[in-house]
Amino acid sequence: MMNPLRRFFPLRSLRSRLALFLTIATVVPVLWLGYISYRWIYIVQTEKIQRDWMDKAYRERDELERKLDELGRVSQLLDVEGGIGREVVRFIGSADPYERSMLYRDINDSIANVIFSNPNLGLMFFYDPDLAEPVLFPNREGGAALDLRSLTPFYRQKLFTYYGPYPSFSPESEAKGPVFSLLRKLTYGQGKSLYAYVETKTTGLESLFDAAAAGRSDYPVYHVLTAPNGNVAYSNLKEAAKAGESYAVSSRQYKTFRADSGHGWTIYQLIPVSAYDREMNKWLLQFVLLASLSILFGIALAWVIWRMVYRPIRIMNREITRFRYNQSPTGVSATGLLEFNQMLANFQSMSRRIAELIADVEDKEKRRGELEVEKILVQINPHFLHNTLNTIQWLARMQGQANIAKLVSIFTRVLHYNLGKKTIIVTVREEAEAVRDYIELQNIRYDHSFNVSLDIGPDCLDVPIPRFLLQPLVENALYHGFDEDESGEIAVTIRREARHLLVEVVDNGKGIPRERLEALLETDDDKLRRSGLGIGLRYVRKMLAVYYGSAAELSIESEPGGGTRIAIRLPDAVRGAEGLDSSVDRR
């Protein structure tokens, strides 16, 4: 057994092994907890960062969708059917100067109201390519420079064509970022066409279209906007994603977050991997530094603990050797450590001796309790036999043979239960039958001058209890509760409460005076004997003490003229009864 241990642990002294194990116990938890902490923080931080960036991408997508939807709603106000476009068609077809003047004023007022209600709108006008001056009713200068061929469609939706992002056609918007626009075809008359052009500013999307902010050295973030066909519509990542080309950016160089629109276009956020991992790398460096300091501190602490533990162990071993009273050698299994081999030999020698003493004391206490019970039984039985024989003699003179035969039969059962080959532990059912026999004997003796009732719960009948526990209580109530010429009632009740039995013996006799009751409640046997209530109660107390110890409770309540109540509360199981039961044959 020891050879494998010595092969794996060549260090045999406590000092060397203690130093090794304390070092391991210090380093391993730090590394393990450090790894768990790193993994947990890494996952939490990564998920948080990714969630934040995805939320930002979704916000930019939602904002851009809102602006494009706003263009569609505004274009409905410019329609030729019920919108401003109807007035524009009348203006184009009218030859009356006055009517044209009134229509011109109304159209400009309507466009002004639309612009006022939608402050994000930029340039807006109508466009008729068949007219000499195709741009009609621009809300600001610059509409004349419109060249649809220079615009690349962003995406199309039925008669709507969205463009962008690109610089506004209005010079007033050059310094305010790119715009998106909607060109809607309005058909009227016999195949004639009119176009409504509306621009929207990119206010609120500065982070998306701010090329200068994208190149910041501390934490650069680039954006790419792709059309439904997959081509790049906008990019501030000039070299890796050029406008008009198919989007293809290496995931090894950039951490990508995308948000797709329901119209097919997509916003990409691209962060260089080196910048994305910078915070995690900074934290990892701090963690490694802190872990190293913790390990060094742990090793130093382990050395201090080793110094604190090893010296007291030697002192303790010396003290155990000094106070050891048995010097005879004993076989001690080796532990693999010289110091602990000696300590274990001393300890086992002492522990064996102490165990023997404890076992001897416990055996003596058990036997003493058993002898006390046996002694009390021996004292009780002659008294009981004397009374019974007197009854038989009395019946022999006063009655015929039938009654004597019945009495002898009952007496035989009682005698067999009390003195025969019965174990000291019986069931409540057996104890109740014995009490009934005893009651019948006493009724014959006293000419049925008293009544004893037994009320026992069905769930109590098979519960084990010490033998001869109820009869002394009934006997005390019979002999000491009533005068000889007095009839009375005695009620015996047994109920189960959780894991306990509640045994009550109640009589309506003359009761017990206070000073006598106090003497009766004394735990001293001599005082109890002097109380004049006989030895039955002492026997019951001895039985409870032997078989239940402090788990059983006995209480007596009585008042002069008010009867007496004796109650016993004991567990519904007798522990250790097998070792105490002697099963003595007393016949």
Q: Where are the domains of the chain?
A: 2-48+277-323, 49-275, 360-580
Q: How far apart are CA 109 and CA 116, in angstroms?
A: 10
DSSP E strand boundaries for 65-159? 121-127, 135-136, 153-157
Q: Which residues pair with 226 in a beta bridge?
A: 232, 266
- pTM (2 d.p.): 0.47
Say which DSSP state 424 is in.
Answer: S
Query: How many angstroms separate the Cα of 82 from the Cα of each of 89, 95, 103, 125?
Result: 11, 22, 15, 17
SS3 state at 25: helix
pLDDT the model gives residue 331: 56
DSSP track, 295-359: HHHHHHHHHHHHHHHHHHHHHHHHHHHHH----S-------S-HHHHHHHHHHHHHHHHHHHHHH
Q: Which tokens in the block code for residue 253?
A: 């160089």
- Evaluate whether 170 touches 141 at the Cβ level (below 8 Å): yes
SS3 state at 253: coil
**Residue tagged 């649809």 (tokens):** 148
- At 152, the amino acid letter reads T
- Superfamily (CATH H level) for 360-580: Histidine kinase-like ATPase, C-terminal domain (3.30.565.10)
Q: Which letter, b or e, does each residue of 269-300 get, where b requires 16 or more Cβ atoms within 10 Å of its Cβ?
A: bbbeeebbeeeeeeeeeebeeebeebbeebbe
Q: How far apart are CA 74 and CA 78, in angstroms?
A: 7
Task: Please name which of 179, 151, 146, 147 lies closest in space to residue 165, comparing C-alpha atoms.
Answer: 179
- Evaluate whether 465 touches 427 at the Cβ level (below 8 Å): yes
Ordered mean pLDDT values, 10 residues apiece, the chain (587 residues): 50 68 74 74 75 89 92 90 88 89 92 89 87 85 64 86 86 71 87 88 82 64 88 82 79 85 90 78 78 77 68 61 53 58 70 74 71 59 57 62 65 66 79 87 73 90 88 82 73 91 90 76 59 67 83 88 89 66 43
Task: Please name which of 84, 113, 115, 127 lies closest in space to residue 200, comparing C-alpha atoms.
Answer: 115
SS3 state at 300: helix
pLDDT the model gives residue 152: 84
pLDDT the model gives residue 166: 86
CB-based contacts of 163, cutoff 8 Å, min separation 6: 151, 152, 153, 154, 180, 181, 182, 183
Q: Please, what sign has the CA dihedral across residues 466, 468, 470, 476?
A: negative
Task: Please name which of 252, 232, 250 lies closest in space to residue 241, comparing C-alpha atoms.
Answer: 232
- At 195, the amino acid letter reads Y
> How many Cβ atoms are within 10 Å of 327's Cβ, its own excluded?
7
pLDDT the model gives residue 182: 92
